[in-house]
Amino acid sequence: MTRVLVVGAGVIGLSSAWALTRAGAAVTVVDPDPERGASPIAAGMLAPIAEAHPTEPALLAAGRRAVEAWPDFASALAATGVDPGYRTTGTLVVGYTASDLAALDDLAARLAGLGVDVERLTGTACRRAEPALAPGVRGGLDVPTDHSVDNRALLRALRTALGAAGVEMIAEAPAEADVTVIAAGAWTPELEPSLDGLVRPVRGEIVRLRAGRRTPVLSRTVRALVDGRGVYLVPRATGELVVGATQDEVGFDRTVTAGGVHRLLTDARRVLPAVDEYALVETSAGLRPVSADGAPIVGAVGPGRVVATGHGRNGILFAPLTATLVADLVTGTAPDPLVAAAFAPGRFTPARIR
Q: How far apart are CA 240 and CA 305, in angstroms?
A: 39
Indicate the DSSP class of residue 345.
G
Work out how close the CB of 51 gets to ligand GLY at its nearest, in angstroms, rounded to a whole number. 5
Is residue 51 part of the contact set for ligand GLY (CB under 6 A)?
yes
Work out how close the CB of 42 gets to ligand GLY at its nearest, in angstroms, rounded to a whole number. 6
**Which residues 239-268 are close enough to bind ligand GLY by CB under 6 A?**
244-245
From residue 201, how far is each of 192, 251, 254, 340 by CA, in Å?
A: 15, 6, 10, 23
Please check whether residue 306 is in contact with residue 1, taking contact to mean a CB–CB distance below 8 angstroms.
Answer: no
Is residue 220 part of the contact set for ligand GLY (CB under 6 A)?
no
Nearer CB in complex with ligand GLY: 15/28: 15
Number of residues forming the site for ligand GLY (CB under 6 A): 8
Nearer CB in complex with ligand GLY: 50/325: 50
Is residue 90 part of the contact set for ligand GLY (CB under 6 A)?
no
Among candidate residues 6, 22, 331, 29, the one with its CA nearest the CA of residue 183: 6
From residue 242, how far is each of 133, 233, 236, 311 by CA, in Å?
A: 16, 6, 8, 20
Nearer CB in complex with ligand GLY: 45/298: 45
Is residue 288 part of the contact set for ligand GLY (CB under 6 A)?
yes
- Residue of 6, 27, 45, 134 that binds ligand GLY (CB under 6 A): 45
Q: How far apart are CA 49 and CA 318, in angstroms?
A: 13
Q: How far apart are CA 193 and CA 26, in angstroms?
A: 26
- Residue of 221, 290, 313, 326 that binds ligand GLY (CB under 6 A): 313
Please check whether residue 218 is in contact with residue 233, taking contact to mean a CB–CB distance below 8 angstroms.
Answer: yes
User: Residue type for 184, please?
Assistant: A
Tell me the window of 9-17, 43-51, 291-299, 326-334 that interacts with ligand GLY (CB under 6 A): 43-51
Work out how close the CB of 204 gets to ligand GLY at its nearest, in angstroms, rounded to a whole number. 5
- Residue of 4, 43, 62, 342 that binds ligand GLY (CB under 6 A): 43
Binding pattern for the stretch 166-205 against ligand GLY, x by CB under 6 A and - elsewhere: --------------------------------------x-
Work out how close the CB of 251 gets to ligand GLY at its nearest, in angstroms, rounded to a whole number. 17
Indicate the DSSP class of residue 54.
T
Q: How far apart are CA 210 and CA 227, in angstroms?
A: 26
Work out how close the CB of 285 gets to ligand GLY at its nearest, in angstroms, rounded to a whole number. 11
Nearer CB in complex with ligand GLY: 54/123: 54
Is residue 345 part of the contact set for ligand GLY (CB under 6 A)?
no
Work out how close the CB of 263 gets to ligand GLY at its nearest, in angstroms, rounded to a whole number. 13
Nearer CB in complex with ligand GLY: 193/252: 252
Q: Which spans of this chain sit near ligand GLY (rule: CB under 6 A)?
A: 43, 45, 51, 204, 244-245, 288, 313
